[in-house]
Chain A
Amino acid sequence: MAISKTVEGPEAGCAGVQSGMTLMLGGFGLCGIPECSIAELVKLGAKDLTCISNNAGVDDFGLGLLLQKRQIRKMISSYVGENDEFERQMLSGELEVDLIPQGSLAERCRAGGAGIPAFFTPAGYGTEVAEGKEVREFDGKPHILESALTADFAFVKAWKGDSAGNLVFKATARNFNPMMAMAGKITVAEVEELVPLGALDPNEIHLPGIFVQRIFQGTEYEKRIEQRTVQTRETA
């Protein structure tokens, strides 16, 4: 019989998060971010968090909400534009920031979840990203050694999921969510639709439930759009 991971809601999902922990949060920009868990983390008030997330949200949404409350001590990201509060805290020295090439960030999370402690990549060779890192040539091309990332908690967002923790993502809202789910000691998945066991076709599950420890039905998704770009119906 399938192992049930279902918990009541964000409160049960985030139970156990403490100050000083390292958290991973899925999403690219505001696309596919764990909105309900972030709202709960703000309520919980845990501080001195290290947050691993591709971006840092905007001033009043996503990780920006945790930044407003000064709950984050360190951000590990590839791109952190679009956020004035982030800039203020970074320039004042309140916030430590580690910028990592996006592909290296994704692979470091994947490696963390896959039991691979480190790997060599060509990305960042010859740049300040390579400072202090081992360099080795493969096929005559220099590569740098990057280490795996793991987290005390990983918060991910999916479109559909079942009580076994199996997840299906929608469109580009998948992004970092699967690798971060793999790399979390406790991975908390929030879904738009919690479906009955057996309702998901095993052929079409994107992330096996073994990587998920808790799953809950999310509510009231805002799904904010960062850059609304459209063609007018007349010109199309």
Chain B
Amino acid sequence: MLDKNGIAKRIAQEVRDGWYVNLGIGIPTLVANFIPAGMEVEFQSENGILGMGPFPLEGDEDADLINAGKQTITAMPGAVYFDSATSFAMIRGRHVQLTVLGAMEVAQNGDIANWKIPGKMVKGMGGAMDLVASAENIIVAMMHTNRAGASKLLPSCSLPLTGVGCVKRVVTNLAVMDIKDGAFHLVERAPGVTVEDIAAATAGKLVIPENVPEMNIG
């Protein structure tokens, strides 16, 4: 089974040279830590930076330089700042190749719910709806089950949707799955996890190929 860093490490393997990538808050943010040295990748944060770098050294933090999670960050050489309309032009205009974000639920048709739980305080969708409506590749990074132990991979979402039919790949603590033809297709198992474990934790339709390799996350 993978921990949060393991999930991020596996997703980092999906990133390709020359890509612009938007990472959501939580596990997705960790993906930046596992990009191989020398790979030409730029991180976009929707509040208005392309070329986001790591957290600043203690004492160097700048209130004017934050990411979409409102965390203090740094800018890499070649970075650029822009306004929010330009930022979402990059996102909606499909200039960003990969979006990685978290979710509360994902459905077998690619629907995603990650912004609202009825009856609880609603904080808002932020940029998530714009991101999932347009991204070429959307990878969801999340735990396979919620805190109560219930599957987050469902026949259909029960929570209010963030986007419809948009998720292509899900990486969880148990598995890598692709979404196509109305089903989750098992691609890889996490180390030490069996196909039976994954099937038991997946409420949606799961297609299991004959050979399901174990992830190699080095």
Contact = CB atoms under 8 A, between A and B. Distances in A.
Interface residues of B, number: 54
B56 A172 contact: no
Interface string A55-82: 0000000000000000000000111110
Interface string B156-192: 0000111111000000000000000000000000000
Contacts of B129: 101, 103-104, 123-124, 127, 129
Contact of A226 (B57, B66, B82, B165): B66
Contacts of B122: 97, 99
Interface in B15-72: 45-49, 54-72
A219 B134 CA distance: 41
A23 to B, nearest CB: 17
Contact of B55 (A29, A97, A229): A229
Contacts of A99: 122, 124-125
A9 interface: no
Given A101-B130, A123-B92, A227-B66, A77 B72 contact: no
Nearest to A234: B58
Interface stretch (A10-18, A42-50, A176-184, A197-205): A176-184
Contacts of A126: 111, 161, 163-165
Contact of A102 (B61, B88, B121): B88
B65 to A, nearest CB: 4
Given A31-B66, A106-B85, A223-B64, A228 B72 contact: yes
Interface string B60-102: 1111111111111101000001111101100110000000000
Q: Which 7 pairs show the lowest CB-CB distances between chains A and B?
A: A103-B88, A103-B130, A126-B164, A81-B123, A106-B84, A79-B124, A223-B63
Max chain B Cβ within 10 angstroms of own Cβ: one of A109, A173, A175, A178: A175
B213 interface: no
B85 A230 contact: no
B12 interface: no
A178 B82 CA distance: 10
Contacts of B55: 229-231
Contacts of A177: 83
A121 interface: yes
Contacts of B72: 225, 227-230
Interface string A79-111: 111000001001100000101011111110110
A110 B88 CA distance: 12
A120 to B, nearest CB: 11
B133 interface: yes
Max chain A Cβ within 10 angstroms of own Cβ: one of B58, B65, B83, B130: B83
Given A28-B48, A87-B121, A127 B163 contact: yes
A137 interface: no
A228 B72 CA distance: 6
B63 A31 contact: yes
Given A87-B121, A172-B49, A227-B71, A179 B84 contact: yes
B217 to A, nearest CB: 22
A169 B54 CA distance: 22
A232 B83 contact: no
Contacts of B130: 101-104, 121, 123
Contacts of A109: 85
B70 A226 contact: yes
Contacts of B60: 230
Given A127-B161, A225-B63, A230-B61, A78 B83 contact: no
B88 A233 contact: no
A236 interface: yes
A122 B124 contact: no
Given A124-B129, A127-B164, A171-B49, 12 more contacts: A31-B66, A32-B64, A122-B133, A127-B163, A172-B65, A174-B81, A174-B82, A175-B83, A224-B63, A229-B55, A230-B56, A231-B55
Interface string B96-124: 00000000000000010000000001111
A81 B121 CA distance: 9
Max chain A Cβ within 10 angstroms of own Cβ: one of B82, B127, B163, B164: B127
